[in-house]
C-alpha cells in the first residue's frame, strides 16, 4: 500500500501544480527574468523547479529575508528581496513553485527564441509567425505585445479584432499556417516584444509561441524625399538672369578698358606729332611772311 500511496500523492501533487498555474510568463531567450516573489525580513521558504515527470529540485531558499541559491548559480541574481535569472537559456522554461511564508500560484515560464526585426519609421514591416494548422478546428491566432493582447483572429473572422487599421494578418492564415503580422506606417511606439501563438477551442496554448523583437529607427534627413521640379519653375527672374548680368558686366569692363587704351594711345600719338606740327606751322608762317616782300620788290 505504501508504494501505491506514494504514487497517488505524486499524481495529486503533479495535477495540483499544473492546474494552479495562474499565468504563462513569456521571456525572450537571453533576456533577464525576475520571479514575482519577495523574500522579506522574517520570511522563509523555498523555490522549487517542477519537471515534466513530476520531480522537483530546490532552486533557492529564503531565510530571514535573504536568498540562498542552490541551482543555476552561474546565472541566478539576487537584488534585495528579489531573485531571478540574469540571462535565460532555453531549458529554463518550465514550472516554478514559490512557497515563501504563504504559498503562491506556480509560475510557468516560457523561454522563446525571437526574431530581431528593424524598420525605419513610416515604413511597413511584417513580423514572421508560422504554425501547423492542418486538420485542426476552432483555432484562434493571438498576437501579444509586451504582455497585452494586440491581435486576436479565429478561423471564422477575416480581420484582427479591437486593433488599429495599421495591423493586418493574411486572410489565408488558417489555410497556409501563416500567422505573420503586418504593421503599416510604423511609429516609434510600435517598438517592443511581440509574441504569437495559437489557442485551441478551450483557450489552451497549442505549440510553442513565436517571438519578434521590433526596433524602430528614426528617419534621417537624407531619407526624406521631395519631388524634383524644373529649374524654370522654381528659380526667380533674378536667378534666371544672373548669368546674363555677369556676362554683360564682363563685356562692359572689357570695352571700358579698350576705350581707355585707345584714348591714351590717341593722346600719346597727338602729343608726339604736335611738336612736328609746331615746326611746320613756324616754317609755313615764315614763308607766308616773306612772300609779300618779295612780290613788292619784283613790281
Q: What is the pLDDT of residues 178-219, one digit of tens each?
A: 999 999 999 999 999 999 999 888 777 766 789 999 999 998
Q: How far apart are CA 285 and CA 283, in angstroms?
A: 5
* Percent with pLDDT over 70 in the chain: 64
**Model-level pTM greater than 0.75?**
no
* Average pLDDT along the chain: 76
Alpha carbons within 13 angstroms on the beta-carbon side of residue 66 total 2
Q: How far apart are CA 20 and CA 15, in angstroms?
A: 8
Q: Are 195 and 26 in contact (CB under 8 A)?
A: yes
Asked which of 37-46, 93-102, 113-122, 147-156 is least confident by mean pLDDT, the reply is 147-156
Q: Are 34 and 76 in contact (CB under 8 A)?
A: no
Amino acid at each position: 500500500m505504501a508504494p501505491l500511496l506514494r504514487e497517488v500523492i505524486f499524481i495529486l501533487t503533479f495535477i495540483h501544480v499544473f492546474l494552479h498555474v495562474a499565468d504563462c510568463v513569456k521571456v525572450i531567450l537571453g533576456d533577464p527574468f525576475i520571479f514575482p516573489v519577495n523574500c522579506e525580513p522574517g520570511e522563509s521558504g523555498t523555490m522549487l523547479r517542477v519537471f515534466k515527470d513530476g520531480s522537483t529540485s530546490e532552486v533557492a531558499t529564503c531565510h530571514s529575508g535573504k536568498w540562498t541559491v542552490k541551482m543555476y548559480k552561474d546565472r541566478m541574481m539576487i537584488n534585495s528581496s528579489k531573485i531571478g535569472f540574469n540571462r535565460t537559456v532555453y531549458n529554463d522554461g518550465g514550472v516554478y513553485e514559490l512557497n515563501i511564508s504563504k504559498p503562491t500560484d506556480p509560475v510557468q515560464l516560457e523561454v522563446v527564441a525571437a526574431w530581431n526585426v528593424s524598420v525605419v519609421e513610416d515604413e511597413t514591416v511584417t513580423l514572421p509567425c508560422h504554425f501547423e494548422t492542418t486538420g485542426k478546428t476552432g483555432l484562434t491566432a493571438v498576437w501579444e505585445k509586451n504582455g497585452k493582447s494586440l491581435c486576436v483572429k479565429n478561423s471564422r473572422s477575416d480581420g484582427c479584432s479591437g486593433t488599429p487599421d495599421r495591423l493586418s494578418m493574411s486572410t489565408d492564415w488558417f489555410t497556409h499556417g501563416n500567422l505573420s503580422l503586418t504593421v503599416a506606417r510604423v511609429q516609434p511606439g510600435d517598438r517592443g516584444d511581440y509574441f504569437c501563438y495559437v489557442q485551441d477551442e478551450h483557450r489552451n496554448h497549442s505549440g510553442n509561441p513565436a517571438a519578434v523583437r521590433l526596433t524602430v529607427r528614426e528617419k534621417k534627413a537624407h531619407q526624406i524625399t521631395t519631388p524634383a521640379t524644373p529649374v524654370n519653375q522654381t528659380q526667380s527672374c533674378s536667378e534666371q538672369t544672373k548669368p546674363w548680368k555677369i556676362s554683360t558686366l564682363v563685356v562692359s569692363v572689357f570695352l571700358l578698358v579698350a576705350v581707355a587704351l585707345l584714348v591714351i594711345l590717341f593722346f600719346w600719338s597727338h602729343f608726339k606729332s604736335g611738336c612736328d606740327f609746331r615746326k611746320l606751322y613756324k616754317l609755313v608762317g615764315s614763308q607766308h611772311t616773306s612772300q609779300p616782300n618779295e612780290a613788292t620788290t619784283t613790281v
